[in-house]
């Protein structure tokens, strides 16, 4: 079975191989009810707050980045008042819910991934936080990814 899966990975057409080569890790999304509790817990691993908290009103969430030496960047997110956007993650005790990547062209990368059976959750739109295009997709294994324009 594993060999069959490996064959499928290596059989990717050159277009998607180019897209994959252009992915650059940006952060792991962490759902929370309390920034303060998460910051305290992650500080045990050397994490510190990066920048100021931000809001994405169209997504109904508030975010805060955390960084630590030789560790992946984390993005804490919590609901804005009245929003239920991340309730499904919290209810199911899912903390790390997405992996985000920067890409040169969000639209082209989104289209290429859809061709590979990824499903669009949120089509390319301009992010308040980044001031650039972002999109959200589900991989065929149901892992969510975020694409952020470089």
Q: Along the 150 residues of the chain, how does pLDDT read in single tens digits?
A: 433 343 444 455 666 777 778 899 999 999 999 999 999 999 999 999 999 999 999 889 999 999 999 999 999 999 999 999 999 999 999 999 999 999 999 999 999 999 999 999 999 999 888 899 999 999 999 999 999 999
Say if pTM beats, i.e. exceeds, 0.95.
no
Which pLDDT score is estimated for 114? 94
Which pLDDT score is estimated for 13? 61
Give the domain 14-149 fold: 2,3-Dihydroxybiphenyl 1,2-Dioxygenase; domain 1 (3.10.180)
Which pLDDT score is estimated for 14? 61
Domain range list for the chain: 14-149
CA atoms within 13 A on the CB side of 45: 14
């Amino acid at each position: 079975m594993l060999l069959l899966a490996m064959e499928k990975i290596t059989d990717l057409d050159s277009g998607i191989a180019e897209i994959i080569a252009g992915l650059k890790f940006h952060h792991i999304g962490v759902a929370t009810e309390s920034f303060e509790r998460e910051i305290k817990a992650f500080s045990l691993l050397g994490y510190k707050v990066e920048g100021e908290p931000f809001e994405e009103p169209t997504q109904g969430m508030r975010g805060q980045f955390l960084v630590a030496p030789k560790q992946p960047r984390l993005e804490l997110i919590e609901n804005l008042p009245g929003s239920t956007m991340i309730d499904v993650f919290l209810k199911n005790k899912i903390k790390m819910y997405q992996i985000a990547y920067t890409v040169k062209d969000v639209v082209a990368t989104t289209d290429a991934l859809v061709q590979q059976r990824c499903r669009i959750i949120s089509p390319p739109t301009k992010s308040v936080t980044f001031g650039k295009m972002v999109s959200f997709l589900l991989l065929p294994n149901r892992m969510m990814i975020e694409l952020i324009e470089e």
